[in-house]
């Protein structure tokens, strides 16, 4: 039974049958060709059994292995590879079929190549997941055929491999490298001019050319009989929380990814940068209940805790309770902190309903409200209106776009920091705002 399940007819075999049928048809008019037609039948049968022996005489003719990472990165192109080698004593024609997870809805994955005996072959491809969770890869199937192309032998490898898709690890690593090498401007991050000194004193050192003369410590200079200056550093160990609204307003999709997933990817990348700059980072997610609360901690290993928490974040399509959020922050976050609130408002009336709670949180903490531009509206506004219906649609789109800017002005009127951003620019703008707040000593 296993033998029959692995045996398939090659497409070329049907061309052979078609030619034989043509010979028999012609032999009705040319009787001399009738023996030739039967000779071709016997020849085809002989080739069939020879090809069968050729393919099945080698027990493990094909070896294949799918190389998967331990975690896939959401919204990024993830590199995967398949390693093959042939033990057949002839040039083998192979077709590779990888049964991809159901989330990709891709049923035509197939790759063709030739293999020489003992020669390794590497096939690479990429996948872009757009939702978090477990992804199950089915069978890795390889069909092998000889140069005769009469039959194919099926090989099956690595059934049901599960790989979790986490928030964008690739994006986090990119910003991690740029933050540690002071090359953040390469990703559009602004260089913020520092205003004055922070209050965290580091040490007294000898003056060297280029030091700010305003930092000269005259008492230490008198004692050492040489110029000494105070050295300051950025204030560290400041608590910073990524507060993510998981309500129905965050389920809106842009380019295959929900606003919630954009916020999750940004929170992970931002938390990593903040930890590298020796600040404490924490996490809070909420909708009609408080779903996740991770206390702000400075340890770099704390990033794994944040990543695991973000992996399990989901929306329940309910209206978010900002009153509950305010009560929880008041009870659990006692130290003055930087709160990055990822949410979204489509109408100014929605903002005004939550404004009392937002103002209450901003009294004790530095609050940054982050919400999103509707990029679909922006593209509609940019189009030329050629008829009455198009003019109507464009006018409505401009009204909604104006409301977004009015909401930003309304929050700024009360001294609340805001970020109105396109979804794809969320991480850059969030880190920019963090660097700006740190440079100005607001927290």
Judgement on whether residues 210 and 241 belong to the same structural domain of the protein: no
Are 158 and 75 within one domain?
yes
Residue that finishes a domain, picked among 215, 232, 249:
232
**Residues near 48 by beta carbon (within 8 Å), at least 6 away in sequence:** 13, 150, 151
304: CB partners within 8 A, 6+ apart: none
Q: Residue for token digits 């507060």?
A: 243
Tokens of residue 409, six digits: 């002005």
Shared-domain flag, residues 115 and 182: no
- From the list 12, 28, 282, 331, the residue with the least C-alpha distance to 143 is 12
| Residue 48 near residue 150, CB atoms below 8 Å | yes
Spatial distance between the Cα atoms of 344 and 371, rounded to a whole number of angstroms: 5
Domains of the chain: total: 3
Residue 137: which of 157, 117, 110, 118 has the closest Cα? 157
Beta carbons within 10 angstroms of residue 9's beta carbon:
12
The dihedral of CA 211, 212, 214, 215: what is its sign? Answer: negative
Q: Residue 95's domain is classified under what CATH number?
A: 2.60.40.10
| One domain, residues 300 and 425 | yes
Whether residue 140 is found in the same domain as residue 48: yes
pTM of the predicted model over 0.85: no
Verify that 434 and 304 share a domain, yes or no: yes
Domain co-membership, 177 together with 299: yes
Decide: 433 and 419 in contact? Cβ < 8 Å.
yes
Q: Quick one: pLDDT at residue 385?
A: 75
Q: Token pair for residue 62?
A: 């094909």
User: Burial level of 389, CB count in 10 A (0-12/13-18/19+)?
Assistant: exposed
Burial of 436 (0-12, 13-18, 19+ CB in 10 A): middle
How many Cα atoms sit within 13 Å of 373 on the Cβ side? 20
What's the gap between Cα 67 and its chain centre? 19
The answer on 143 and 276 residing in a single domain is no
* 112 lies in the same domain as 173: no
Burial 407-428 (b: 16+ CB within 10 A, else e): bbebbeeeebbbbebebebbbb
**Do residues 223 and 254 share a domain?**
no
- The 3-class secondary structure across 231-262, one letter per residue, is EECCCCCCEEEEEEECCHHHHCEECCEEHHHH
Burial of 304 (0-12, 13-18, 19+ CB in 10 A): exposed
First-last CA distance in the chain:
72
Question: ∠ at Cα 309 (304, 313), nearest 5°?
Answer: 145
Query: Taking the C-alpha atoms of 251, 253, 256 and 261 in order, what is their torsion angle to the nearest 10 degrees?
Result: -40
Collapse the DSSP code of 11 into the 3-class scheme (helix H, G, I; strand E, B; otherwise coil) and give the result: helix
Q: DSSP letter string over 388-438?
A: HHHHHHHHHHHHHHHHHHHHHHHHHHTT-EEEEE-GGGHHHHHHHHHHHHH
What's the pLDDT score for residue 195?
47
- Strand order of the β-sheet with 111-115 is 7-9, 151-157, 140-145, 92-98, 111-115
Distance between CA atoms of 418 and 388, rounded to whole angstroms?
A: 36
- In the structure encoding, which two tokens stand for residue 110, read together? 């197939």
Q: What is the CATH number of the domain that holds 369?
A: 3.40.50.410
Which two three-digit tokens encode residue 51?
């090809």
Q: Do 180 and 313 have their domain in common?
A: yes
294 close to 241: Cβ distance less than 8 angstroms: no
Domain of 211 in residue numbering reads as 201-232
- C-alpha to C-alpha distance for 87 and 84, rounded to whole angstroms: 10
pLDDT in tens for each of the 443 residues of the chain?
555 566 667 667 667 777 767 776 777 676 766 677 777 777 777 878 888 888 888 888 999 999 999 999 999 999 999 999 999 998 999 999 999 999 998 888 899 999 998 889 999 999 999 999 999 999 999 999 988 888 888 999 988 899 999 999 999 988 876 565 555 555 555 555 554 445 555 577 788 776 777 788 888 888 888 888 877 655 557 899 999 999 998 988 888 889 999 999 999 999 999 998 889 999 999 999 999 999 999 888 899 999 999 999 987 778 899 999 999 999 999 999 999 999 998 888 889 999 999 999 999 999 999 999 887 777 777 777 777 777 777 777 788 788 888 999 999 999 899 999 999 999 989 988 998 888 777 77
Dihedral Cα 25, 28, 31, 33, nearest 10 deg: 0
Per residue, the 3-state secondary structure of 122-181, as one string, reads: EEEEEECCCCCEEEEECCEEEEEECCCCCEEEEEEECCCEEEEEECCHHHHHHHHHHHHC
Q: Which residue, chain included where needed, has tokens 């390469």?
A: 186
Q: Answer yes or no: do 288 and 276 share one domain.
A: yes
């Amino acid at each position: 039974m296993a033998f029959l399940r692995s045996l398939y007819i090659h497409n070329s075999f049907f061309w052979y049958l078609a030619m034989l049928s043509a010979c028999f048809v012609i032999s009705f008019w040319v009787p001399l060709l009738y023996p030739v037609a039967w000779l071709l039948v016997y020849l085809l049968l002989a080739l069939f059994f020879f090809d069968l022996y050729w393919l099945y005489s080698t027990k493990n003719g094909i070896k294949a292995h799918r190389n998967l990472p331990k975690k896939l990165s959401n919204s990024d192109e993830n590199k995967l590879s398949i390693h093959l080698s042939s033990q057949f004593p002839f040039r083998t024609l192979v077709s590779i079929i990888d049964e991809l997870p159901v989330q990709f809805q891709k049923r035509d994955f197939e790759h063709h190549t030739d293999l020489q005996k003992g020669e390794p072959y590497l096939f690479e491809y990429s996948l872009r997941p757009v939702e978090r969770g477990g992804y199950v890869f089915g069978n890795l199937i390889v069909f092998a055929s000889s140069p005769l192309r009469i039959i194919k032998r099926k090989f099956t490898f690595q059934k049901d491999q599960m790989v979790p898709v986490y928030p964008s690890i690739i994006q986090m690593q990119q910003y991690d490298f740029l933050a540690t090498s002071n090359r953040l401007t390469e990703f559009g991050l602004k260089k913020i001019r520092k205003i004055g000194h922070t209050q965290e004193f580091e040490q007294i050192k000898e003056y060297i050319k280029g030091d700010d003369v305003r930092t000269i410590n005259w008492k230490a200079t008198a004692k050492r009989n040489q110029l000494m200056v105070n050295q300051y550093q950025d204030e560290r160990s400041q608590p910073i929380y990524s507060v993510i609204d998981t309500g129905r307003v965050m389920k809106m999709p842009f380019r295959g990814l929900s606003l919630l997933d954009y916020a999750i990817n940004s929170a992970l990348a931002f938390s990593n940068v903040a930890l590298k700059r020796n600040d404490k980072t924490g996490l809070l997610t909420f909708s009609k209940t408080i779903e996740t609360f991770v206390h702000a901690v400075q340890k770099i290993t704390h990033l794994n805790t944040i990543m695991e928490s973000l992996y399990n974040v989901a929306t329940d399509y309910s209206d978010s309770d900002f009153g509950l959020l305010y009560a929880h922050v008041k009870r659990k976050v006692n130290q003055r902190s930087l709160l990055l609130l990822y949410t979204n408002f489509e109408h100014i009336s929605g903002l005004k309903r939550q404004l009392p709670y937002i103002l209450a949180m901003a009294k004790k903490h530095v609050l940054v409200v982050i919400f999103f531009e509707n990029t679909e509206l922006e593209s509609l506004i940019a189009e030329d209106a050629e008829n009455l219906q198009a003019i109507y649609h464009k006018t409505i789109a401009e009204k909604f776009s104006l409301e977004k800017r009015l909401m930003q002005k309304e929050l700024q009127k009360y001294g609340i920091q805001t970020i109105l951003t396109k979804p794809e620019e969320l991480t850059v703008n969030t880190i920019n705002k963090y660097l700006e707040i740190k440079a100005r000593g607001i927290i």
